[in-house]
Amino acid sequence: MIRHVALFTLDADAPAATTRSLEDGLAEVERSIDEISAYSYGADLGLRAGCYDFGVVADFASAEDFQRYVDHPVHQDFIRERLTPVLQDRVSIQFEL
């Protein structure tokens, strides 16, 4: 099992509706990509200073399933249309469970 974690810092001038747009887009990603075993995402709760603004955690049965997710057109559309226009910084890690 592969776990993918991605964290995002959004532009300071990102529209107020950005979080909702990201959540809606990721819901479409989840519905569209069968290789996703588990998927969760959301905005930072603001409980600590210095955190990223938004995060995604996704599990996959194999590295091949993860790569299909990365390359999937719906995922690529999400990145291009919803994430990139508001993105300041991104970090990610993949590890085996």
- pTM comes to 0.94
Looking at residue 44, its pLDDT comes to 97
Q: Which residues have CB under 8 Å from 62's CB, separation 6+?
A: 2
**pLDDT tens digit string along 43-84?**
999 999 999 999 999 999 999 999 999 999 999 999 999 999
pLDDT in tens, 8-46: 999 999 998 999 999 999 999 999 999 999 999 999 999
Give the pLDDT confidence score for residue 14 in this predicted structure: 94
Structure-block tokens of residue 14 = 């990102």
The CA–CA distances, whole Å, from 23 to 2, 20, 35, 49 equal: 22, 5, 19, 22
Multiple choice CATH, 2-96, 3.30.420.130, 3.30.70.100, 3.40.190.10, 3.40.50.720: 3.30.70.100
Report the length, in residues, of the chain: 97
